[in-house]
Amino acid sequence: MLLVESISKTFNEGTVNEKKALLGLSLHLAPGDFVTIVGSNGAGKSTLFNAVAGSFYVDEGSVVLDGEDITFAPEYKRSRVIGRLFQDPLRGTAPHMTIEENLALAYLRTSRGKAPFSRISKKDRIFFKEKLALLDMGLEQRMSQPVGLLSGGQRQALTLLMSTIVPPKLLLLDEHTAALDPAAAEKILELTKEIIASNGITCMMVTHNMNQALSVGNRTLMMADGKIVLDISGEERKGMTVDGLLAQFKDSAGHALDNDRILLSTQTGKEH
């Protein structure tokens, strides 16, 4: 499904600010895999997402999605088959456009055979309303309101719907609940799991919550220094504790995890 083979990326090469962000990283995802990813700041998590999404071209290696080599495909083409949510709820929507207009743009951009500025039919509007109702936030009654009037949780829920209204081949979630209050974060995570399960979407999710990393999805990756240092699934993951995961990370990475947000989440078991 997703084959990332030996990708490397260095920023500001040859300068005092040189940063080796990815170092020969390889990753294979099967259809329907739901992978959680944990790592300290600078480990390469967002850089991996940027490489897959096409925000830049990698220096070495290849990215193949569903049998198609997309290593040098531009980002706008990849966005038709790769959905993405960011930590900031404001990044995924156009605030001055209505809820309906935001959904229409996402739907027409990703629907095969439809031009980005096609007219929205009555059938499309009914479809949007049905999808919004599934969010259980009353947004189906507010389709003509500007998105800028929504709360952060509502905007992130709308962005999630926009990214999956035509199920993507791959969904990238970059700490998409971290900026929300605990109640909103929990609701968005539950919606995420429901949408992914009902559509069989292949997904990678970056999280700073270690308990979440072991309980959500079917596979856990830990990254350090531009590499994947742990890849746990199956029975090993089912029996893994947070302390055990931290100990394995230290053995594999050669140093302890040093992210305060992650370590705090292991003590409370809640988002912060």
Task: Look at residue 256 in the predicted model and tell me its pLDDT.
Answer: 86
Of 106 and 204, which is predicted with more confidence?
A: 204
Task: Look at residue 120 in the predicted model and tell me its pLDDT.
Answer: 79
Q: How far is CA 167 from CA 111, 130, 185, in A?
A: 10, 16, 22
Average pLDDT over residues 82-96: 93
DSSP per-residue codes, 184-196: HHHHHHHHHHHHH
Average pLDDT over residues 16-37: 97
First to last CA, the chain: 33
Average pLDDT over residues 16-41: 96
The model's confidence at residue 121, banded by pLDDT at 50, 70 and 90, is confident
Of 229 and 259, which is predicted with more confidence?
A: 229
Task: Look at residue 272 in the predicted model and tell me its pLDDT.
Answer: 40
Sign of CA dihedral 197, 203, 208, 210: positive
Per-residue model confidence as pLDDT tens digits over 184-226: 999 999 999 999 999 999 999 999 999 999 999 999 999 999 9
Query: Quick one: tokens of 228?
Result: 């994947």
Helices (H), the chain: 45-53, 75-78, 99-110, 122-133, 152-164, 182-199, 210-215, 234-238, 242-253, 260-268
Average pLDDT over residues 15-21: 95
Task: Look at residue 229 in the predicted model and tell me its pLDDT.
Answer: 96
Average pLDDT over residues 55-84: 96
Residue 77 has pLDDT above 50, yes or no: yes
Task: Look at residue 74 in the predicted model and tell me its pLDDT.
Answer: 96
Lowest mean pLDDT among 108-117, 138-147, 187-196, 230-239: 108-117
Q: Would you give the distance in Å from CA 16 to the centre of its chain?
A: 31
